[in-house]
Amino acid sequence: MAEKAAARVEAARLVAAFRAAGAVEVETDILQPAEVLLDLYGEDIRARAYVTADPVRGEMMLRPDFTVPVVQMHMADGAEPARYCYAGEVFRKQERPSARRAEYVQVGYEVFERNDPVAADAEVFALFARLLAPLGLRAATGDIAILTAAVRGLKTLETRKAALLRHIWRPRRFTELLDRFGGRAPVPPSRQALLRALSAGERPGSAPHVGLRSKGEIAARLAALVEDAGAAPISAEEVARLEDLLNLAAPGPAALAHLREMTREMPAILPAVDRMEARLDALAQAGIDIGTLAFEASHGRTTLEYYDGFVFSFHAANPDLPPVASGGRYDALTEVLGQGRSIPAVGGIIRPGLVADLGGLGPC
């Protein structure tokens, strides 16, 4: 990747362009409290972020991304609507020797806007597309909200839907759960034995109670297991439709037509598909060639799990390179960090070091 100086030049150009688009430039600390990030991302972030100790403030992390501190700052005292931009280093541990940098510059643009989310989605994407146009990148889009709506619309227990929703971002576990809830995977022998014992009225286990997880919590899960065992499997048709949706990859208009078709069997996704159509219209109006814009229903399923709507990325031809830019909508994150308040938000980041490697943007 380019020298930092070259990355800084591209970063300055991008920041100037984001300011021209109406964003206020903000700064965040490099040292971030680890607790918030760990609570949000779990152990995965500990494997990826540099953790250090502050004698007074406790466990701290070198900023692994800007989104969390920018959202916190906005939720604490931001006026609405708001557009922010920033540029600075982020730090990601690399577990294997690779071309990927452990320390690199990100430039970002975030929009907090309550009234017209579709327009905000299109604004961010079209701005990124315009700025990155000299590099000839391939763009890909997706929409997590369509996936979550499809899961919520399944005719099955709420507990099963909640389990599937938790694992949207872990495709392997999601598939395993779907196989089990769909009756395609056998019930583990230990579960069968437990259910037999419970149905015979036996209170399983004679071990003394230890630990913080209470007897009430254990009893609640046993009851949930009995309920689950008594519920019909998710029908093969519903499972097939969900898999069809997850595998959908087509240019925007073709993907939309396919999804429209699917709404006849999956009415639950209708509002999300309507939003996608409005977004495509808004993108077309902003000058994006939607006829060639890739839509992949599973796009964003393997990233950090805070996107919950529109997602996008821009890629160079070399598949070994990370995305040059990526972003999406993260309404739920503002709720988690807003302590009772929330605001629809969308944004994205560009890696100016990669931009410089690919020849740079020139004055923009």
Partner 1 sequence: MLKLGVPSKGRLMEQCFDWFGARGVKLRRTGSDREYAGAVEGVDGLQLVLLSAGEIPRELAAGRIHLGVTGSDLVQEKLADWPSQVVELAPMGFGHADLIIAVPACWPDVDTLDDLDAAAAAFRREHGFRLRIATKYHRLVRDFLTRHGVADYQLVDSQGATEGTVKNLTAEAVADITSTGETLRANHLKILSDGLVHQSQATLYAAREADWTGGRRATLARLASRLGVSAGDLV
Contacts with partner 1 by CB under 8 A lie at 38-39, 42-44, 46-47, 95-97, 162-163, 166-167, 170, 172-174, 176, 180, 188, 190-191, 194, 204-205, 207-213, 217-218, 220-222, 225
Residue with tokens 């019930």: 187
The smaller minimum CB distance to partner 1, of residues 45 and 118, is found at 45
Q: How far is the CB of 43 from partner 1 (least distance, A)?
A: 5
Least distance from partner 1 to the Cβ atom of residue 51, Å: 11
| DSSP, res 263 | H
Burial of 217 (0-12, 13-18, 19+ CB in 10 A): exposed
Q: Output the CA angle 278-314-13, nearest 5 degrees.
A: 105
Question: Which CB, 141 or 156, lies closer to partner 1?
Answer: 156
Beta bridge partners of 112: 82, 345
Supply the minimum distance, in Å, between the C-beta of residue 307 and partner 1: 16
150 exposed, middle or buried (CB, 10 Å; 0-12, 13-18, 19+)? buried
- The CA distance from 361 to 190, in Å, is 60
Closest by CA position to 363, among listed 14, 6, 113, 5: 14
Q: What letter does residue 185 receive in the DSSP assignment?
A: S
Q: In whole angstroms, what is the distance from residue 151 CA to residue 149 CA?
A: 5
Nearest residue (CB) to partner 1, 152 versus 170: 170
Nearer to partner 1, 138 or 152 (CB): 152
Q: Which is nearer to partner 1, 163 or 280 (CB)?
A: 163
> Minimum distance between the CB of residue 68 and partner 1, rounded to whole angstroms?
17
* Cβ at position 216, least distance to partner 1 in Å: 9
User: How far apart (Å, rounded) are the C-alpha atoms in residues 29 and 71?
Assistant: 13
To partner 1, the closest distance from the beta carbon of 344 in angstroms equals: 25
Stated as kind and residue range, the H or E segment containing 293 is none
151, 164 Cβ separation under 8 angstroms:
yes
Using alpha carbons, list the distances in angstroms from residue 225 to 35, 201, 220: 32, 14, 9
Yes or no: say if 155 and 234 are a contact pair by the CB < 8 Å rule: yes
Q: In whole angstroms, what is the distance from residue 104 CA to residue 91 CA?
A: 7
Q: How far is the CB of 242 from partner 1 (least distance, A)?
A: 17
Q: Which is nearer to partner 1, 12 or 224 (CB)?
A: 224
Instruction: Select 96 or 341, whichever has its Cβ closest to partner 1.
Output: 96
Q: Nearest distance from residue 209's CB to partner 1, in Å?
A: 5
Residue closer to partner 1 by CB (options 38, 73) is 38
